Structure 1
Amino acid sequence: MSAPSSLAPRLSWGRIALFTALGLFALFFLTPLYVMLSTALKSMDEIRNGTLLSLPLSPTLDAWAKAWSGACTGTDCGGLKPFFMNSVMMVVPAVSISTLIGSLNGYVLSKWRFRGSELMFALMLFGVFMPMQVVLLPMSQILGWLGIASSIWGLVLIHVLAGIPSTTLFFRNYYVGLPDELVKAAMLDGANFWQIFWRIVLPLSTPILVVTLIWQFTNIWNDFLYGVVFSGADSKPITVGLNNLANTTSSVKEYNVDMAAALIAALPTLFVYVVAGKYFVRGLTAGAVKG
């Protein structure tokens, strides 16, 4: 007699309406991705003769190969490969350095407070809300003085400086929730500043570390403004290459190549979210509860 009552909540009209709405929202959200993927797998003849939502009858990766190594991005017809590699060389050090600096800042501002530390933290938060366009001119002057203008290392420096306020905010709010007794006990055992950080605090930072790495990776990989302003001919990131490819005029517009190029540019961030998405949500939740 208990089985029908236990199944009743699952079949309620409210749950049916909720799941229907969620399904429709998911369908609406995933439709552009489906159109991009199906178009990228079609030939131009199939695109002309078919519809936007039709499945590819004879899937082919020719458009992907051309987008990677043969499409024209302005006067250069080498595809997105050099731009992709530029982004990789830019993202890896920029994400690593900004995350490390943010973790150290958060550690100091939460566990080694000093006179004026709260004011310093408040001033650093201005960088989170400051429009990126404000810093374009002073940043370009600084890069020129340092001799790294129009280079990958110049872009790395820009993204590290732009990411420090956010990474500091993440780690500081997370570390505030860690018991101060851990640091005090380690100090009584003779541990110094760096030993406490590397052996105690950092191993407890996995949730917020994952959040920060994903956040920084996504922001830096998808950035277009800094890439187009501060890069040179040989240091343009993937977003600039994609823009150049899409805006390059030709006698025939190859929509399949454009869609394949967009997917190639998006694959790293999609891969990161598919692999570590659940850890991202858990890390945000942990930071919210402990902050």
Structure 2
Amino acid sequence: MSLNRILIYGVLTLAAMFYLLPLLVMVITSLKDLEEIRNGTMLTLPQSLNFTAWDKAWSTACTGVSCEGLKGYFWNSVLIVVPAVLVSTILGALNGYVLTKWRFRGSNLFFGLLLIGTMIPFQVILLPMARTLGFLGIAGTTWGLILVHIIYGLAFTTLFFRNYYISVPSELVNAARIDGAGFWMIFYRIILPISTPILVVSIIWQFTQIWNDFLFGVVYSSGDYQPITVALNNLVNTSTGVKEYNVDMAAAIIAALPTLFVYIVAGKYFVRGLTAGAVKG
């Protein structure tokens, strides 16, 4: 190995250690009891593996008035994320397909206006979306929060698929039309089979955004319908007597595990999918 390569690996290793240090501190703290936390330092290894804090964070920790842990709120987030990701990805794929292979008058203007949705901050849509959910009668429910995430994420998924499909040769679609294939046949038999990279990008993007969301969750949900991010905030800010830092750390790791798992397993496909449609031809 050359000196330059050794230096590059050395710098990357130091950077990785720097960014992984908070996670290491969280894991170590979550495996200690309160006595070890008080008598040791942040980087002191636990004397033994103690998963009591994890069990309490999952099943008995107080998140306000309720003391049932994060378990129910974790599954709330699953119930929100799965349909929101699937619907926004499918609609984004259809929009990208139409905007590239079935152009209509004003399609470029429509796409330009749709791009504005990627620049609108969360705070701007809080009031109009709340009024819309109230009008539909689904305010404070899981279905209302799912609808919010679908609408907000649709601009991003459309952008991803449109930029990917624009690199797909139009001759494929034209040949299918000549053979008698219609809109849906072309989409399911030709477009979707070659969309795996961008499907992965859309799913990872939407999953991360929705699972980690706190603002929409705290505004548009209530009570037992809240996602895990809201419950985590309530758990950390709820204390009766001694502050249990080990439980707080375990709860934070539980809330972050799904996104960590997704990026570890499919992170490389995310980068490949984003660059797949970067160049046409």
Task: Give the TM-score normalised by structure 2.
Answer: 0.98
Cα RMSD between the aligned structures? 1.0
Shift of 1:157: 0.2
Q: Tell me, yes or no, if the aligned pair for 2:166 and 2:277 is still in contact at 8 Å.
A: no
Query: What's the CA shift string for 1:143-178, capped at 9, x where partnerless?
Result: 011010000000000000000000000000000000
- The higher radius of gyration belongs to 1
1:246 corresponds to which residue? 236
My pick for the range that moved more, 203-212 or 268-277, is: 268-277
What is the count of residue pairs matched by the alignment?
281
How far 1:287 sits from its partner (Å)? 2.5
Secondary structure, counterpart of 2:118 in structure 1 = helix
Q: Which residue matches 1:156?
A: 146
Quote the residue 2:164 is aligned against: 174
SS in 2 for 1:129: coil
Match of 1:106 among 86, 96, 106: 96
AA of the residue aligned to 2:240: S
Match of 2:106 in 1: 116
The aligned counterpart of 1:57 is 47
Report the Cα offset of residue 244 of structure 1.
0.2
Pairing partner for 2:63 from 54, 73, 97: 73
TM-score by length of 1: 0.95
Shift of 1:78: 0.5
Q: Is the 8 A contact 2:101 2:170 kept in 1?
A: yes
Q: Which runs of 4+ in 1 moved over 3 A?
A: none
Deviation (angstroms), 1:17: 1.9
**CA distance in 2: counterparts of 1:105 and 1:88, whole angstroms:** 26
Tell whether the 8 Å contact from 1:41 to 1:59 is kept in structure 2 after alignment. yes
Match of 1:82 among 72, 77, 80: 72
Work out the CA distance in 1 between the residues paired with 2:279 and 2:77.
34
Cα distance in 2 for partners of 1:46, 1:123 equals 57
Separation in structure 1 between the aligned mates of residue 228 and residue 278 of structure 2, nearest angstrom: 33
Match of 1:40 in 2: 30
What is the CA deviation profile of residues 62-109 of structure 1, one whole-angstrom value per residue up to 9, with x for unaligned ones?
100000010001111000011111100000000000000000000000
List alignment gaps of at least 5 residues for structure 1: 1-9
Provide the residue aligned with 1:195 in structure 2.
Answer: 185
Name the counterpart of 2:250: 260
Is residue 173–residue 290 contact of structure 1 (8 Å, CA) maintained in 2?
A: no
Structure 2 unmatched ranges of 5 or more: none
Aligned-pair identity in percent equals: 65
Specify the code of the residue in structure 1 equivalent to 2:153. Answer: G
Q: Which residue of 2 aligns with 1:142?
A: 132
Shift of 1:290: 4.1
